Amino acid sequence: MARFPPMDDLSIPVPDGEINVWHRPTGHGEPTVVLIHGLTGNSRWWARVIDHLPPGLGLLAMDVRGRAGSWDAPPPYDLTTIAHDVARCLDHVGVDRAIVAGYSMGAWIAALFGRHHPDRMSRLVLIDGGLPVPAPPGLTAQETIDAVVGPSLARLDMQFADVEAYLDYWRAHPALAAHWEEEMGPMLAHELMVVGEGVAPRANAQAIAIAGAEIAADPEVNQAAAETSVPTLLIVVERDTMDQPGGMTPRADAEAAAAANPNLTVEYLAGLNHYTLMLGKGAARVAATLA
């Protein structure tokens, strides 16, 4: 399996606790990029993107509250609080302004950071997330929330015999089965902890549920990207989380939002699904955009 890029884990204080950030200091005069992962992901989901980025860039890849290295961080777990954690991370490393990139759930967090701290970002990159998720036909609001969060919560309830058993779960996933590469293994395994005689994901179910509910139904969370006041790029892909047609952010919705806001532009990446965008060959294309 591939090794991680040369970076260090950094503990950053938040009220009543701390969060973990995967960090690389900036080179002389180079910008810093904040990288925010998805609903049940972790900082290492950015590893393949980082491999393709210029080595002088400063990097702050967060394990957000309730996930991976920050799984035992204290509440509150709402996305606005996590957006303020981005500012705390920048303060801790002495950076005034950064490029902020968010993938999936991280896109909503990044957009909220842009709303609350526009003076602290030079550019916003939203990666298959940030706009309202279309409700499945005929579902109530609660059923829509369950549809968004349910698969992730189900995985959190599972225990696996060892790391390889956990990776076997992902090797068989509809979005990855035809695209599996061994480089994906360390990125996924970072979220594991030992439980009894096996392993399980390090993720706080309450944090996952709160984030999912906000993404599914909170107006402020879903308006932040569409109303962005800073230069913003929204990347959308051809296929969704189960490799079904139509990405998490439908291309038509993204283009309509861009038509209504001159600060927002859209880049469409064909041939990728929501997971191969970051874990697979799409990472090089994401890195080229960030670079």
| Contact in structure between 134 and 246 (CB atoms under 8 Å) | no
Q: Answer whether 21's CB lies under 8 Å from 63's CB.
A: yes
- Domain membership flag for residue 187: no
pLDDT of residue 286: 95
Burial per residue of 176-215, b for 16 or more beta-carbon CB atoms within 10 angstroms, e otherwise: beebbeebbbbbbbbbbeeeeeebbbbbbeebbbbbbbbb
**57 occurs within a structural domain:** yes
Q: What is the CATH number of the domain that holds 244?
A: 3.40.50.1820
* Confidence label for 217 from pLDDT (cuts 50, 70 and 90): confident
Task: Name the token pair of 263.
Answer: 């600060």
Handedness of CA 171, 275, 122, 218 (dihedral sign): negative
The answer as to whether 109 is a domain residue is yes
pLDDT of residue 152: 72
Query: Is pLDDT larger for residue 246 or for residue 134?
Result: 246
Please state, as a whole number, how many other Cβ atoms lie within 10 Å of the Cβ of residue 174.
14
Domain presence at residue 174: no
Place of tokens 């990044």: 110
Q: Is residue 169 part of a domain?
A: no
Residues 6 or more apart in contact with residue 256 via CB below 8 angstroms: none
What is the structure's pLDDT at 82?
A: 98
Q: For residue 43, what are its two tokens? A: 């900082």
Q: What is the pLDDT of residue 148?
A: 65
- The answer to the question of residue 47 being in a domain is yes
- Residue 265, domain member (yes or no): yes
Domain membership of residue 21 as a residue range: 8-132+219-290
Q: What is the model's pLDDT at position 29?
A: 83
Within a domain: 243: yes
* Residue 63 DSSP SS3: strand
Contacts of 150 (CB under 8 A, 6+ apart): none
Residues 6+ away with beta carbon under 8 Å from 244: none
Tell whether the model's pLDDT for residue 179 goes beyond 60: yes
pLDDT at position 16: 92
> Of the spans 111-115, 152-156, 244-248, which averages the highest pLDDT?
111-115
Q: How many structural domains are present in the chain?
A: 1
The answer, yes or no, to whether residue 258 has pLDDT greater than 80, is yes
pLDDT score recorded for residue 3: 67
Residue 43 pairs in a beta bridge with: none
Give 159's contacts (C-beta < 8 A, 6+ positions apart): 195, 196, 198, 199, 200
Q: pTM value?
A: 0.95
What is the structure's pLDDT at 141? 64
Instruction: Determine the average pLDDT of the residues in 93-121.
Output: 97
pLDDT for 175 equals 93
Inter-helix orientation angle 79-93/205-217, to 10°: 110
